[in-house]
């Protein structure tokens, strides 16, 4: 039995290049303009064309990389199918571009609806609901005034328009690609209805549900401020356990392919449960969401990391609230004050 996580490949493919990780399966990388500077893409050889898993952001650079890939490692064969693991921009950004070239899009219903809705929902300034969400998280009046006049992040900035029409993936769906039969298993928490693909010969396309070394962001947003995605995430990790084996090759959405999935699932559960314990101790004194970073991240959070840190802090607080371990009340400033019971 594997004692932990092992990486069969010690380096990723070069930009515009590919690494064959199994017969008929190529590992590609697309650049991202952020600290996490890449997303992994997988190309499955179907003979007369390719099925690709996710697409990268919509940008001139991404398209240029794809043109190099299509004419180089992908041998000039067309992309006939795009399988979307989840709706986040680094995974869905060029799905519409490939559809415009004739590719079929396969996705869970929730992932497709979120992606299409968010590309159509362009905002020049934050909505009142978004500002209320930030106020309740504990942002100062000065921060709120600054954000109120700034253009917020919009999916349409980095995701191509998505035409109508997709093929739905559901739990237990079986499909053929790269000479293999794959079973769809759905996870939750990082993104609703996140598709993972498990082959009969021990290869797992994990998206962001199954990552080595880093934790997928688990966040609560103004669209659903009472959500408890952390419980969804923990439940999904436990639901994957009966299907996990040490010898499976996990092809994740970021970082390096790995083996040792049972260990990694247990590690992800333990990491969040320990964070909840530290957070509960931190709440011996009443705190706002924005004051809950130290026990969760154990490091300084800078301005660039603040938005994701905030939504993850709220996810952990909502989980504790659901477990009946904390209470919350509104301060005169309109922020939620959280306290251990």
Percent of the chain with pLDDT over 70: 99
pLDDT, tens digit, 9 for 90 and up, residues 163-217: 999 999 999 999 999 999 999 999 999 999 999 999 999 999 999 999 998 889 9
| Average confidence (pLDDT) over 89-112 | 98
| Average confidence (pLDDT) over 226-253 | 98
- Predicted local distance difference test score (pLDDT) of residue 2: 46
Phi-psi region of 255 (alpha: psi -120 to 50; beta: other; left: phi over 0): left
| Average confidence (pLDDT) over 319-328 | 98
Cβ–Cβ < 8 Å for 256, 9? yes
Please check the confidence at residue 266 and state whether its pLDDT lies above 70. yes
Cβ–Cβ < 8 Å for 227, 188? no
- Predicted local distance difference test score (pLDDT) of residue 35: 87
Residue among 55, 117, 45 nearest 83 (CA)? 55
pTM of the model: 0.96
pLDDT, tens digit, 9 for 90 and up, residues 192-202: 999 999 999 99
Strands across the sheet containing 19-22 = 19-22, 25-31, 38-45, 50-53, 79-83, 104-107, 167-168
Q: Which residues lie closer than 8 Å to 65 by C-beta, 6 or more apart?
A: 15, 16, 30, 31, 56
Percent of the chain with pLDDT over 90: 96
Can you tell me whether residue 168 is helix, strand or coil? strand
- Kindly report each contact of residues 21-24 with a partner whose C-beta sits within 8 Å and lies 24 or more positions away, as own/partner: 21/249, 21/251, 21/257, 22/178, 22/201, 22/203, 22/249, 23/178, 23/179, 24/178, 24/179, 24/180
- Predicted local distance difference test score (pLDDT) of residue 329: 97
pLDDT, tens digit, 9 for 90 and up, residues 114-139: 999 999 999 999 999 999 999 999 99
Task: Count other Cβ atoms within 10 Å, centred on residue 137.
Answer: 22
Please check the confidence at residue 224 and state whether its pLDDT lies above 50. yes
**Domain segments of the chain: what residues?**
19-124+153-281
Q: At 241, is the pLDDT very low, low, confident or very high (cuts 50, 70, 90)? A: very high
Token pair recorded at residue 268: 């992800």
Q: Which CATH class is domain 19-124+153-281?
A: alpha beta
How high is the mean pLDDT of the chain? 96
pLDDT, tens digit, 9 for 90 and up, residues 57-78: 999 999 999 999 999 999 999 9
- Predicted local distance difference test score (pLDDT) of residue 1: 39
């Amino acid at each position: 039995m594997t004692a932990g996580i092992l990486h069969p490949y010690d380096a990723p493919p070069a930009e515009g290049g590919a690494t064959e990780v199994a017969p008929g399966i190529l590992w590609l990388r697309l650049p991202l303009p952020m600290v996490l500077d890449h997303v992994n893409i997988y190309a499955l050889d179907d003979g007369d064309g390719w099925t690709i898993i996710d697409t990268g952001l919509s940008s001139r650079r991404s398209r240029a990389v794809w043109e190099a890939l299509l004419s180089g490692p992908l041998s000039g064969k067309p992309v006939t199918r795009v399988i979307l693991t989840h709706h986040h921009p680094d995974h869905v950004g060029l799905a519409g571009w490939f559809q415009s070239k004739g590719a079929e899009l396969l996705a869970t219903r929730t992932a497709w609806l979120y992606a299409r809705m968010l590309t159509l929902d362009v905002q020049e300034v934050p909505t009142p609901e978004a500002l209320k969400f930030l106020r309740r998280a504990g942002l100062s009046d000065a921060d709120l005034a600054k954000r109120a006049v700034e253009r917020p992040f919009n999916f349409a900035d980095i995701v191509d328009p998505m035409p109508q029409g997709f093929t739905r993936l559901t739990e237990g769906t079986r499909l053929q690609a790269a000479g293999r039969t794959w079973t769809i298993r759905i996870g939750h928490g990082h993104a609703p209805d996140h598709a993972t693909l498990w082959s009969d010969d021990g290869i797992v396309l994990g998206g962001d549900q199954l990552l080595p070394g880093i934790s997928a962001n688990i966040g609560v947003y103004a669209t659903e401020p009472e959500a408890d995605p952390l419980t969804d995430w923990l439940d999904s990790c436990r639901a994957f356990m009966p299907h996990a084996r040490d010898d499976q090759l996990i092809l994740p959405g970021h970082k390096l392919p790995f083996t040792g999935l049972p260990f990694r699932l247990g590690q992800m559960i333990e990491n969040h449960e320990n964070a909840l314990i530290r957070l509960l101790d931190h709440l011996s004194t009443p705190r706002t969401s924005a004051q809950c970073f130290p026990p969760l991240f154990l490091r300084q959070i800078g301005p660039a990391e603040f938005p994701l840190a905030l939504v993850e802090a709220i996810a952990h607080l909502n989980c504790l609230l659901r477990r009946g371990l904390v209470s919350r009340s509104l301060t005169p400033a309109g922020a939620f004050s959280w306290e251990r019971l």
